[in-house]
Structure 1
Amino acid sequence: MNVTWAELQPEFDAITRRIVWAVVTTVDTRGRPRSRILHPIWDGHVGWVATSPLSLKAKHIAANPWVAVAYWDQQHEQVYAECRASWDTSLERRQWLWDFFKSTPPPLGYDPGTLWRNGPSDPTFGALRLDPIRIEVSRLSEIMTGKPPRVWRPANG
């Protein structure tokens, strides 16, 4: 069932902020999927990951910017986001992301300084942006009663 962002956001935020960690899948340079656990924080419908722009995932994203993001918990509440990933390399954006993570209460937020001792200008600290083309939210309990997943797509998607 297609919904507006205003309809989906409260449920999306509740699930992603509670689960925190997501499986993010990239496509490697040979066209094969590669998954890993990442810690996105969403600012509205734009996701942000503090991660290294020198990593293997950065090489994958350089070759193919499409990623899949999946959240799941034992209550079978799910969020799936299909996104275009891009790096914002500006020091202003990296400082913003640093502050965003640091000022967000745990468990979603954390102090990036525990991982990047040289601050937001550290060359291994990057701002990975996730722009979804589709977000799906569902609960197994609802699916079993016939309620379809809720799907949001941006107007330009």
Structure 2
Amino acid sequence: MSDSQFWDKVHAAAAKATWAYLATTNGTQPKVRVVHPAFEGERVWVATGRASAKAAHIDKNPKVELFYQIGAEMVHLTVTGTAKFVEDLAEKKRIWDGKVFDYELSQFWPGGAESKDFGLMLMTPGRVELTSLPEMMTGKQPEVWRASRK
């Protein structure tokens, strides 16, 4: 399967889910919380409060993992990579105005992309795994993409 076909499958799976679980670390303690991410090609965006606990964790340790369990077919999508907060206002406006997210960001940041607490997290995947419970039960190996394949 080509990278393009794999990413098409990832985007289709993620589009069926509203929520995913983001794992960060606070020192040596893993922390997991629900987020509403958005894919843009091979990049993953998460909008969150810039002063949130997850932002503080990422500022100290950029390694993160995002997990989706999708629908009745129990599709599992795991994205492992690094995250950083984008501070460039032009990029924040591009994402905001481009409607990359499938919800209105202004619900949380009425002041727009310029809002002081509007945190725009960019996750760069290093590894992406796609499988499903039925596939796992038959012994089928997950489909895996690695950034090093490029």
TM over 0.5: yes
The alignment status of 1:79 with 2:72, answered yes or no, reads no
* Alpha-carbon distance between aligned partners in 2 of 1:4 and 1:33, rounded to the nearest angstrom: 33
Whether the 8 Å CA contact 2:21–2:66 is kept in 1: the answer is yes
Whether the 8 Å CA contact 2:37–2:45 is kept in 1: the answer is yes
Amino acid corresponding to residue 68 of structure 1 in structure 2: E
The structure with the greater share of residues assigned to strand is: 2
Q: What secondary structure sits across from 1:33 in the alignment?
A: strand
Instruction: Tell me the residue number matched to 2:6.
Output: 8
* Alpha-carbon distance between aligned partners in 2 of 1:43 and 1:16, rounded to the nearest angstrom: 11
Within 5 Å, give how 1:41-60 maps onto structure 2. 41-60=38-57
Q: How many residues align?
A: 149
* Alpha-carbon distance between aligned partners in 2 of 1:131 and 1:7, rounded to the nearest angstrom: 19
Give per-residue Cα distances to partners, 1:36-63, cap 9 Å, x unaligned: 0011101111001111221111110111
Within 5 Å, give how 1:1-157 maps onto structure 2. 4-28=2-26, 30-73=27-70, 74-100=72-98, 103=99, 109-155=102-148
Unaligned runs of 5+ in 2: none
* Alpha-carbon distance between aligned partners in 2 of 1:79 and 1:22, rounded to the nearest angstrom: 9
Give per-residue Cα distances to partners, 1:92-145, cap 9 Å, x unaligned: 111112123xx35xxx60111111111110011021000011000001222222
Q: Which moved more, 1:90-99 or 1:139-148?
A: 139-148
Q: TM-score, normalised by structure 2?
A: 0.92
Q: What secondary structure sits across from 1:19 in the alignment?
A: coil
Give per-residue Cα distances to partners, 1:49-102, cap 9 Å, x unaligned: 1112211111101111001100003421010000100111011111112123xx
Q: TM-score, normalised by structure 1?
A: 0.88
* Alpha-carbon distance between aligned partners in 1 of 2:3 and 2:117, rounded to the nearest angstrom: 33
Unaligned runs of 5+ in 1: none
Deviating 4+ runs (over 6 angstroms): none
Amino acid corresponding to residue 144 of structure 1 in structure 2: M
